Structure 1
Amino acid sequence: MSETTARVLQLLGLLQSRRVWTSEELAERLGVTTRSVRRDVERLRDLGYPVHASTGHGGGYQLGAGAALPPLLLDPEEAVAMAVCLRLAAGGSVAGVGESALRALSKLDQVMPARLRSQVAAVHETTVTLTPTNTDVPVDPEVLMTLARACRDHEHVNAGYTDIRGNVTARRLEPYQLVTTGRRWYLLTFDRDKQDWRSLRLDRMADVRALGSIFTPRQAPDAAQYVQRAITSSPYRYVARVRYHAPRDVVAQTFSAASVQIEADGPDTCILTTGADDPAIMALYLAMPGCEFEVLEPVEVADAVRTAAERLRRAGAR
């Protein structure tokens, strides 16, 4: 790195660390003349950094907000703090934040020295987050990072996977895209042994290892649609289709988008598809919107709804 480049980077770090600097203060810190400071400021402006200059009492150089976000310089403590926060956000449940945090964490992790990465891991491993007891199992950030890089770089991955029945299998995968529902993370992947596409829950994956070998991308299905179909129907013994006599937006307020598919069936009706292993539990679940509905299929769920309705009528009569 040339002396000029190193000085410009040092200048950028100073401007990011404090609101306003006078040219004299910057010259003293950098060990150059104020004329050199002016030239270095112009170099930063050419690179897209909005450095503003003001005169008079309290004036000086100030790094402002621009039309685009230029690269930031972080000292070691700031990098560790940011990585810890991004890990927590990536595993959180705020809609839209998890994927953005994962992308940012992937970029930061790529350039972070090993000693800082170990500090981030130490903080994460010794931190406990208080959450309601009915939330899903959190995803290991290292699994997220490994799969995010593998999706980006088209890298083969081996992993262990525990299915819904508790069976553990070894998987040889071509990862394509990560999908989050806000509560859980899923991976759209091509299973090399089964020669088919699969949707895998990240919290059920273990011993995830990127192999370093690269695969040629296939024509992949739409990740969001594929995962949506998989989590609302394929894992379950019974898949129900129900017509509600209410607009789609009204019914959607009751259910999680991760557990149902809802399609409009005219202005005042909609059709919901969802799955479960127990028709009796599904019957109560389907009654939650509090509006009229009819079970289109299967007959087992329709029978369970009639049984539940009769049981509730008798309870009310008593």
Structure 2
Amino acid sequence: MPKTSARLLALLSLLQTRRDWPGSLLAERLDISLRTVRRDVDRLRELGYPIAAAKGPEGGYRLGAGTDLPPLLFDDEQAIALTLALQVAATSPASGHAEAAARALHTIRQVMPARLRNRIDPLRVTAVAQPTTRPAAAVDGGKLLALSAAAHSHETLRLDYGAEDPDRPPRRVEPHHVVTSNGRWYLVAFDLDRQDWRVFRADRITLRTPNGPRFSPRQLPGGDVAAFVTSRFRGSTDTTGAWPCTGTVVLGVDAAALAPYVHDGVLEELGPGRCRLTLGSWSWTALAAAIARFDADITVVGPPELTHAFAHLAQRLARTTGPTT
């Protein structure tokens, strides 16, 4: 059995990973008895951690929110992920939280053990917005929180969009999701006055108070927020929809390595050394050549025209290596 201090840290780490933990499952994961689980929970409560207990034969436990913030526990990988996320936020002025993220990053670094600080210090991540015709406008963090809170609680929003006009009645929308794309923040919502789904730029929204009544969430067309937003941007420079030929491939390279060079496509991280790219071009052969320039293993997802274009491109390139006349 591990020492008490190590066991308490392991118990606290488990309690932070999910909402409810049956006592028997905690005992199994920690290789201790139910009685020891109960004693350790009591010790954590004495240290200020608000842990609620559920009644039952074996009982259950939940780590709740208290009036004071007790010490948090992160494993190494969580600390690295948190550092990366804060660095992105700190270098994204449009988020409205850049300064706060920078301060939070400094605070977290100060309390890290030396071994972990030495791993994290070399990490330098900067969020770079893709080129646009005009710079992205900063969005107040309070507005983003208000939009997200309304979407979470299913409260109708009353808002002005564009230039404020006190004589114009507010638009009434059912907020669904807050998303970011190409350096800008957007609200996906169902417009009650137009009876259709809309994507609103957050920097152009002026909220009116109070919010409207609660609503029953509608099913977003297609069910996927990212795909829906992308489809609404087609025909602009934000996506690949303006091109007559569009295809999708899986590339054997990290998405982070390609991100600086993909300005009009959709790039998705699939894991270490793999990413999915959707790109457009004026012809299938030109599209195959554009993808081949990334110097990575390629698996075509579709459509078949892209597969044929790669074969045609390979034959054309093979002829260039033959004898010249």
Which range, TM-score by smaller chain?
Answer: 0.3 to 0.5
What TM-score comes out, normalization by structure 1 length? 0.40
Larger Cα Rg: Structure 1 or Structure 2? Answer: 1
